[in-house]
Structure 1
Amino acid sequence: MDGITLPSVDHQLLSGIELSMPLQFSGDFLELAVLFFIIAIVAAVLGARGVAGLSMTVAKWLVIIFLVLAVISLLL
């Protein structure tokens, strides 16, 4: 590499060029499910049954998505 300098990783990230990362498993869905579950409990205590039901439904689906992605990532 005579006279050619490659941009550093920091420069690439700052310039908006993202490096491709392999598919990694994270617990974002589980964290969101816990958050919606807490919202559902607080809403139920305060008497907002509609908000509590909706939050619980969202939490349930996020847990299901988390479990499906966890199984897929373990199999791959």
Structure 2
Amino acid sequence: MLIFVIVLLAAWLILSVVGFAIEGLLWLGLIGVVLFVGTAAIGAVRRKSLRR
């Protein structure tokens, strides 16, 4: 599960960088940031619940 979350975070980070690097794809950068934050939050919540 942890590997999957890390792979998703890397993918969203790459999408964000590409989106902000190419001027016409600013929307892609914004979507990448939103997905990155969402995935990180979900991963943290699930990891916290697995420890209990």
State the TM-score bracket (shorter-chain normalisation).
0.7 to 0.9
Aligned partner of 2:45 in structure 1 is 68
Check if 1:29 corresponds to 2:5.
yes
Cα distance in 2 for residues equivalent to 1:52 and 1:43: 4
TM-score of the aligned structures, taking structure 2 as reference length? 0.83
Aligned-residue CA RMSD (Å)? 1.0
**Greater helix proportion:** 2
Task: Work out which of the two has the higher radius of gyration on C-alpha atoms and give 1 or 2.
Answer: 1
Aligned length: 50
Contiguous gaps of at least 5 residues in structure 1: 1-25
Structure 2 counterpart of 1:57, from 16, 19, 34: 34
Which ranges of structure 2 fall in alignment gaps of 5 or more residues?
none
What percent of counterpart residues are identical? 10
Q: Quick check: 1:41 aligned with 2:17?
A: yes
Q: CA separation in 2, counterparts of 1:72 and 1:30?
A: 18
Higher relative contact order (CA 8 A, sep 6+): 2
